[in-house]
Structure 1
Amino acid sequence: MQVDLDIASYLSQQKTKYPEFKDIFAQFETLYDQKLWHQLTVALEKLLANPKSHSLLIPLYNNFVKDWESKMNQISLVKFVSLTSVQLGDHKKALEFLTPFATKLKGDDSAKDAYVLISTEIARNKLLSGDLEGCKTNIEECEKILDSLPGTDPVINAGFYRVSSDYFKATMGYPQYYHNALLFLSSVSLDDLTVQEKQERAFELCMSALLGEGLYNFGELLMHPILNTLQGSSYAWLRELLFFYNSGNMEGFEKTSKSGEFLRQPLLVSALPFLRQKLCLMTLVESVFKRSKEERGRLSFADISKETRVAFDEVEHLVMKALSLGLIKGSIDEVDSIVSVTWVQPRVLDKNQIGHIGKRIEEWSLKVSQQVIGLESQESFTSVFAQ
């Protein structure tokens, strides 16, 4: 088979026009002529890996890829057309370009993963063009398909969680953003993200952790390396603030909440009463967590008031709030002003908290050793007495 004259002419022109890609266009000619579609797809992906080639994608599709796209691996095709759609520079034009591909893939049970991948790209363009409802519809459809698949490529998960987190960011769904953004980070390598994108993600995760209803454990985020990208930046204080929450550091919070950096964040300033209540609840949980099983059985209102800085007559309300949120389980003795905690919500622990557990284990081990020595001494004494 000879290369189609139009295609041969196009590829030949590209070799002359773009000498830096001369070898790869020559490879295109050979592989296309030999009908080696897999190898041709691999060569195309090699070209895509070079950002300088992205301006060539629209004519490359129209004059070359379009001719043999049906022979391509469907995931590879979706990656190519998604990247090509970005070069159109208009989200509505991108939607017009991508939708026919999605329509073809939708009825193919063997290409569900490819359909999800292109649907998430369509959802992203809908979001950026202001169609929040359309974006939500695509996300919900993709979620159902992903739930039905036994396993998926990380790139598909990354695409889904990226657009999901961006949607919840746009709709101010802080808890949903928090969870989806962390799942996105678990699907990609941080090395593939720019410094700016890592810092933006870290900032948004911190904000959603603070403002999100029901988010009372930041351990997973505190241990994630993306948070370190804020160190040395103008948002380093936000990272520190999360650690203050996690350890129940009231002084640190009060100092930060009066700083100029904090006051320049209107979302945080307007939510200050909520943030204070959240800190009190997290301080209560941390206080319970640090205590032994015996100590948890008799927590006085006075101790709770002192550690959380809540007025004595408001302690009962705070504890009831913690109980209703499922942060702790137990009971309140109003007569004796005592709280008995039987369970505390499992937590992802930071290094300091792990160190605290280690210390408690050492203390427990010492007590056990002392008891064993005591029993051995008692047995020895009994044996001598019996003789």
Structure 2
Amino acid sequence: MQVDRDVSGWLAAQRTSAPAELKEYYAKFEDLYDRKLWHQLTLTIEKFTSLLAAAPYLLPLYENFVVDFEKRINGISLVQFLTKAARQIKDPKAALAFLSAQADKLKSSSTGKEAYVLATMEAAHYKQVTGDLDGCKKSIDECEKLLDELPATEPVISAAFYRVSADYYKAKMAYQQYYHNALLFLSSVNIDDLGVQEKQERAYELAMSALLGESLYNFGELLIHPVLDSLKGTIFEWLRNLLFQFNLGDMEGFEKTSRSGDFLKQPLLANSLPFLRQKLCLMTLMEVIFKRSKEARGRMTFFEISRETRVALDEVEHLVMKAFSLGLIRGKIDEVDSVVLVSWVQPRVLEKSQIKTINDRLDDWVAKVHEQVSSLEQNESIKTLLVQ
């Protein structure tokens, strides 16, 4: 079967007018289409799509060629192509209409839920861009239910879901939800595939969310993520350092940073200074408990907590109650003896200095065990000599 005359004529015209580096692709398109080699044709289209010079030609390629056999293409590959084609539509509302129409077609097709979820989430991106946050959230909720029904999903699906979800929560200034979704997005992609600017923007937004999130008291996962290193050598390196100051309970470092011009130029941080100070006190309390041995952490005096967290002695009980209510520590307060009995501290993702603390503690434990063993062996030797 030969290529349809209109399709063949269009491909021939494109082959004539396209840039030199694209001409050969139109010849391959026609040959593979003629031989019904759909998989090979899909792979060739993917290579074509990855070329920077091909961007202005994607939408015409779909409307004049791909639409003729789109049902024969892998659903996910088709949506990835359509997403790149939609980026060439200048009007976000028109791009939304284009992708929504594609999602509607996929919903009733046999290509599977994943392709529909991917198309729906890419359309939801434009809902968020055009200000339809309610519509965006409905798409997120719908796709979340569909993904829960699947035993596994391809990374490209997860990446789209978490990327759009993070953008939605960023628009809503829901710091904790943004933080978790943004980290899940980064876990779904190869960070080396992200541009330098995108890495820096994501590192900045994650850092701000970590600091401002009301229930975020463990930054370990972000601190060990390579995306945070993108802030090194930039005007926001101080923000990266600030995260480490919080994580380690560095009171002096925080006070110095909070008085700097860089910090004060960030209204969200400057206006949240009382909250940040309390958050630092709570994280310092967790770090102090973490560093102590099991025996020592079981009983902490109000004076010790006041000294470590720099909270007034008469405010220690309120600080500890806050830590209890947030689920950061468990235990009880002995008001008579002004002592806090700690039975548990929230598990943490550790960065290098905290891992070293554990290593040092293990070394101490090994040394004590060795000492005990040596003592027992010595006692046994003495007993043997006495018996003899």
Paired position in structure 1 for 2:297: 296
Q: Secondary structure at the match of 1:347?
A: coil
Paired position in structure 2 for 1:6: 6
* Deviation, structure 1 residue 109: 6.2
Q: Secondary structure at the match of 1:330?
A: strand
CA distance in 1, matches of 2:381, 2:340: 43
CA distance in 1, matches of 2:321, 2:237: 34
How do 1:1-387 and structure 2 match up within 5 A?
Answer: 1-18=1-18, 19-108=20-109, 110-387=111-388
Aligned partners of 2:75 and 2:111 also within 8 Å: no
Letter in 2 for 1:286: E
Aligned partners of 2:333 and 2:339 also within 8 Å: yes
Q: Secondary structure at the match of 1:332?
A: strand
Runs ≥4 residues deviating over 6 A: none
* Deviation, structure 1 residue 372: 0.7
Q: Secondary structure at the match of 2:332?
A: strand
CA distance in 1, matches of 2:298, 2:57: 69
Aligned partners of 2:302 and 2:338 also within 8 Å: yes
Deviation track 1:179-235 (CA, whole Å, cap 9, x = no partner) reads 000000000011111100000000000000000011000000000000000000000
CA distance in 2, matches of 1:379, 1:311: 53
* Deviation, structure 1 residue 77: 1.1
Once structures 1 and 2 are overlaid, which stretch shifts more, 98-107 or 173-182? 98-107
Aligned partners of 2:306 and 2:312 also within 8 Å: yes
Letter in 2 for 1:177: Y
In structure 2, relative to structure 1, the CA distance for the partners of 1:237 and 1:90 (3 Å cut) is same
In structure 2, relative to structure 1, the CA distance for the partners of 1:61 and 1:107 (3 Å cut) is closer
CA distance in 1, matches of 2:288, 2:9: 75
Once structures 1 and 2 are overlaid, which stretch shifts more, 109-118 or 185-194? 109-118
CA distance in 2, matches of 1:165, 1:62: 32
Q: How many residues align?
A: 387
Deviation track 1:97-134 (CA, whole Å, cap 9, x = no partner) reads 12222112223465100000000011100000000000
Aligned partners of 2:224 and 2:351 also within 8 Å: yes
Q: Secondary structure at the match of 1:339?
A: strand
Letter in 1 for 2:238: W
Q: Secondary structure at the match of 2:344?
A: strand
* Deviation, structure 1 residue 347: 0.4
CA distance in 2, matches of 1:290, 1:96: 56
Letter in 2 for 1:3: V
Aligned partners of 2:15 and 2:23 also within 8 Å: yes
Aligned partners of 2:330 and 2:342 also within 8 Å: yes
CA distance in 2, matches of 1:99, 1:225: 35
Q: Secondary structure at the match of 2:3?
A: coil
Aligned partners of 2:217 and 2:283 also within 8 Å: yes
CA distance in 2, matches of 1:138, 1:169: 16
Letter in 1 for 2:323: A
TM-score by length of 2: 0.98
CA RMSD of aligned residues (A): 0.9
Deviation track 1:280-324 (CA, whole Å, cap 9, x = no partner) reads 000000000000011112211111101100000000110111111
CA distance in 1, matches of 2:111, 2:39: 18
Q: Secondary structure at the match of 2:8?
A: helix
Deviation track 1:37-74 (CA, whole Å, cap 9, x = no partner) reads 11111110110011210100121111111111121111
Aligned partners of 2:166 and 2:178 also within 8 Å: yes
Letter in 2 for 1:230: L
Structure 2: 5+ residue runs without aligned partners? none
Identical aligned pairs, as a percentage? 61
Q: Secondary structure at the match of 2:214?
A: coil
Q: Secondary structure at the match of 1:340?
A: strand
Q: Secondary structure at the match of 2:89?
A: coil
Letter in 1 for 2:240: R
Aligned partners of 2:74 and 2:111 also within 8 Å: no
CA distance in 2, matches of 1:206, 1:131: 27
CA distance in 1, matches of 2:326, 2:295: 23
CA distance in 2, matches of 1:290, 1:108: 57
In structure 2, relative to structure 1, the CA distance for the partners of 1:363 and 1:174 (3 Å cut) is same
Q: Secondary structure at the match of 2:151?
A: coil
TM-score by length of 1: 0.98
CA distance in 1, matches of 2:101, 2:92: 15
Structure 1: 5+ residue runs without aligned partners? none
Q: Secondary structure at the match of 2:22?
A: helix
Letter in 1 for 2:279: K
Q: Secondary structure at the match of 1:172?
A: coil
* Deviation, structure 1 residue 93: 0.5
